[in-house]
Structure 1
């Protein structure tokens, strides 16, 4: 790995850590970067997941003030995230690499669509918040968090968008507090998947270390400064990178 690859992967980690702290979808930056340098898709996904764990943890730490009073919520949904992340990681290792190459472009484009639709989703959430005051979302929300965990353990791009959409539509709470809870749950999903990958899969530790260093810094910066970034510009970058990655994967398959 030459110096430019090292710089590019580390910078992608910084951007991904910041995005994950604020909105999610950081994988749409790091994963395509690794593909561009010729890293095989499954190895890229595994190494990326391991590397992003410190970043999502740092983002959760940056929102620690908003986590106060949410212990019961985090314990309840944390169990769903852990189970889902474990299931998604096992799916990634069980299904053939060809299946991953076929599925991931669809997942990336779906994630891009969710990012594009986020302003409308936020408006819908705002309307719903005036109609409901449910405190825990019941079994349907728990199952939704479980399903998001499976998706996150398998690939993970935009799992934060999915969680925020579900939380905002059902839970009657401040959105910044919900975003803090989202960061913790994403940390659990990525963390349990990383444990599985480290135990039984091949990890490129150089790549993982570079992404870890970048995403840790990015997570802290994102928690402090992310709210000041122009949302439209951020969405534009995510979607551009995601569509490019999908086209690249389709061309290679």
Structure 2
């Protein structure tokens, strides 16, 4: 009973902070680890539990996504391939090696969480004019580099879900996109595609803890819904500061747990 309540509350908080400020995986992934799941299974289960929020969020931006069908379809194909590759890579990683990688993956996600907004602003300022012309990417070379970049991001997302949204936003800024609603829409949609196809790999290899993941998923959906209703009354910067502190503490804990 305690485990059920613990995981439900973790999902509730995770969905709530994702709706307001982002960074919910800093709560849900460690919670699954603390519930006793092996690291690889916890990571795969966390991807499953986060997918519902990605899908519901991307639906809210369907008009913006439909206005850029070509780039959405292209990125979706890349996300499909990258999600499959990342999921396979995760399951091919020795459990002990992945456990040792967790502190470093958490550190990368934490740094991205803190620096993401500044990085996005910097990239938008310095690369928006150089990579786009008349709203379209300039050359075939840039197109090729774009899809290669997104494939790398998709592999990361299939392998480790935390920080994925920030990485996608940074890439969109690098490519010169400035329409924040389209950027948020493609962030959520691409996260959905990557997650779905990595989940297919996880299901085929029986790598998802359905009971624990289902509880977190239910909590996440409820948390996202109610947080969305009351998000205008909450200071997102305050939530970001709290999540930032939590992420630093958890990263330090995992470094201590692995290397102490």
**What is the TM-score with the length of structure 1 in the denominator?**
0.87
Relative to structure 1, the CA distance from residue 138 to residue 145 in structure 2 (aligned partners, 3 Å threshold; closer, same or farther) is same
**Contact 1:23/1:161, CA 8 A, preserved across alignment:** no
Displacement of 1:195 in angstroms is: 1.1
| Matched pairs, number | 251
Tell me, yes or no, if structure 1 residue 242 matches structure 2 residue 240. Answer: no
The correspondence for 1:157, drawn from 153, 159, 162, is: 162
Bigger Cα Rg: 2
Point out the more displaced range, 105-114 or 227-236: 227-236
Counterpart residue number, 1:128: 126
Counterpart residue number, 2:238: 233
Between the aligned partners of 2:225 and 2:71, the Cα distance in structure 1 is 23
Counterpart residue number, 1:76: 74
The correspondence for 1:86, drawn from 84, 87, 96, is: 84
The correspondence for 2:113, drawn from 115, 124, 146, is: 115
The correspondence for 2:200, drawn from 195, 200, 205, is: 195
Q: Which runs of 5+ in 2 are unaligned?
A: none
Displacement of 1:139 in angstroms is: 1.6
Counterpart residue number, 2:97: 99
Displacement of 1:243 in angstroms is: 2.6
Q: Which runs of 5+ in 1 are unaligned?
A: none
Counterpart residue number, 2:180: 175
Output one character per residue of 1:53-82: Cα deviation in whole Å (capped at 9) or x when no partner: 212111112333332302211111111111
Counterpart residue number, 1:205: 210
**Contact 2:169/2:184, CA 8 A, preserved across alignment:** yes
Output one character per residue of 1:98-157: Cα deviation in whole Å (capped at 9) or x when no partner: 111111211111111111112322331442366343424522221111111111111111
Between the aligned partners of 2:230 and 2:120, the Cα distance in structure 1 is 20
Between the aligned partners of 1:38 and 1:44, the Cα distance in structure 2 is 9
Output one character per residue of 1:140-182: Cα deviation in whole Å (capped at 9) or x when no partner: 2211111111111111111110110110222334112111111
